[in-house]
A and B are shown apart, each in its own frame.
Chain A
């Protein structure tokens, strides 16, 4: 079982480093701009206030918190989360389907290892990749934000904001996994991932523009609003529950489909 796990990790190693470095680079770059942004709050505030409400909504800018380090970080996290969702979903879609598209399923599944163990090892491997990405991302974000912010810094609020990044990745990981077992013959996982992630992103954006609260139920990007976290120092329980239910159901369903799946001859 461990041999399969390490083989998987090895195959993800390069892309894991690239994703992590890119995500961290993005966050550091924007955080470095934070002092400049807040230097003349009045002027920036005026510019922002002059933007039409719809544009502000689309860009997810809320004036009340934008100039705090949390608000600023949350704002740039919406874009990091978009990238993070792509990374996670791509892993989820690919982890099982790559054996079929690479036609290596015959090799793996004729070894003396049960499908349950294959599934478990593979899930563990992609979860590890996400975990690694988050640990590094969180550390880098925390240290940079700490350095850039002046005055008080609430670890709990900042920690919760970082947690939303993990939760979004986790959800897309599970969705990707399920999708990969529902779609027959996936040739390239990124071709499934990109449209799916952007669809959710656009749904969320449209929801913000028209101000429809119900959109939040179907858009993982909107599960955890930063204003709520900043104001109350907590995640919205309702959405945390939805997230957990979706992740668990998607994983169980994927498992049940996988152990019953017919592996047809590669040709």
Chain B
């Protein structure tokens, strides 16, 4: 569906992406994850023909992105992280205008617009300028889906959507996927990608670090644990617990990364006298560090 070969982009001398090899298969939801500035947007924008690759090649539907851009985009829906539209237009006019670029049945597109607007709870008669950030995002979602594309490319799409809308949006994407639509989903939030994607590529400093099945990555998932003891720290059992790394004792507070059976951890914690307890997803940076360490070994 999408294939890139040694795709490279330099902005002047500054590298955007270097030798990116990706293969997104038909029908999958492919996650593309990395910190800000890692090259996610550069990759996506190159695929869409917004920027020209310095070297390397990329194909979508087997067609060359530098030669067959318009033909490819006929079947691609795109939603950027921040959406900007013509402020003087009403939402419905913008969406109709958007639809008019596609060589498809316009009546069908209009029905789809209305259907999606109802589902997302968007008032189509409002002017773009009068819409809130979240509502503009909804216009963006509809704009990306109204022509029933075969490939949907999302570049950090969830910003501005409240949790309920995010849920609906994800449901919508899953539904599309069930109908055979391929999805490329870029994000810097791991949990988001975990919820949706079947495979994931990790990008850092312009290079693909790893491509992995979500299941494998989930197994690898670390938890960041922070315990605040009411009294002296009971160091002994913590040092014995397997799967602990990055262990730091600090006055009455313990900080560590945990990877392994959560039951073993919860049983252990149950025996402590604590004033506070925090278990959270490690941030992406920590996961990357983890991958880097593995690579070095």
The interface of chain A, by Cβ under 8 A from chain B, is: 3-4, 7, 11, 102-107, 109-114, 117, 260, 262-267
Contacts and interface: CB of A to CB of B under 8 A. Distances in A.
B101 A113 contact: yes
Contact of A111 (B11, B51, B101): B101
B85 A110 contact: no
Interface string B35-58: 000000100010011111000000
B160 interface: no
A266 B81 CA distance: 10
A7 B103 contact: no
A112 B82 contact: no
A109 B50 contact: yes
B101 to A, nearest CB: 4
B84 A107 contact: yes
24 contacts: A3-B100, A3-B101, A7-B97, A11-B86, A102-B86, A103-B84, A104-B86, A105-B50, A106-B50, A106-B78, A107-B85, A107-B98, A107-B143, A109-B48, A109-B49, A110-B49, A112-B71, A112-B74, A113-B101, A264-B11, A264-B45, A265-B45, A265-B80, A266-B80
A113 B69 CA distance: 8
Contact of A112 (B85, B97, B103): B103
Interface of B: 11, 41, 45, 48-52, 69-74, 76, 78, 80, 82-88, 97-98, 100-103, 143
A110 B70 contact: no
B270 to A, nearest CB: 47
B80 A106 contact: yes
Contacts of A105: 50
A232 to B, nearest CB: 48
B132 to A, nearest CB: 17
A214 B70 CA distance: 48
Determine the main DSSP class of B at the interface with A.
Answer: loop
B52 A112 contact: no
Given A3-B97, A111-B98, 17 more contacts: A3-B101, A11-B88, A106-B80, A107-B98, A107-B143, A110-B78, A112-B70, A112-B71, A112-B73, A113-B70, A114-B70, A262-B51, A264-B51, A265-B41, A265-B80, A266-B80, A266-B82
A263 B51 CA distance: 6
Contact of B52 (A260, A265, A266): A260
Nearest to B9: A262
Contacts of A262: 11, 50-52
A265 B82 CA distance: 9
Residue from B48, B73, B78, B101 with most neighbouring chain A CB atoms (10 Å):
B101
A111 B73 contact: yes
A213 B84 CA distance: 50
A260 B50 CA distance: 9
A263 B11 CA distance: 11
Given A263-B50, A263-B51, A104 B41 contact: no
Nearest to A108: B101
Contacts of B45: 263-265
Please list the 6 inter-chain residue pairs (A to B) with the smallest Cβ-Cβ separation, ordered nearest first: A103-B84, A111-B101, A262-B51, A112-B74, A112-B73, A3-B100
Nearest to A105: B50
A106 B45 CA distance: 9
A105 B78 CA distance: 13
Contacts of A265: 41, 45, 80
B243 to A, nearest CB: 39
A267 B80 CA distance: 11
A266 B80 CA distance: 10
B39 to A, nearest CB: 12
Nearest to B69: A114
Contacts of A263: 45, 50-51
Contacts of B76: 110
A4 B78 CA distance: 19
Contacts of A103: 82, 84
A4 B101 CA distance: 8
Contacts of B100: 3
Contacts of B82: 103, 266-267
A117 B71 CA distance: 13
A111 B80 CA distance: 13
B16 to A, nearest CB: 10
A10 to B, nearest CB: 9
Nearest to A265: B41
B295 to A, nearest CB: 29
Contacts of A264: 11, 45, 51
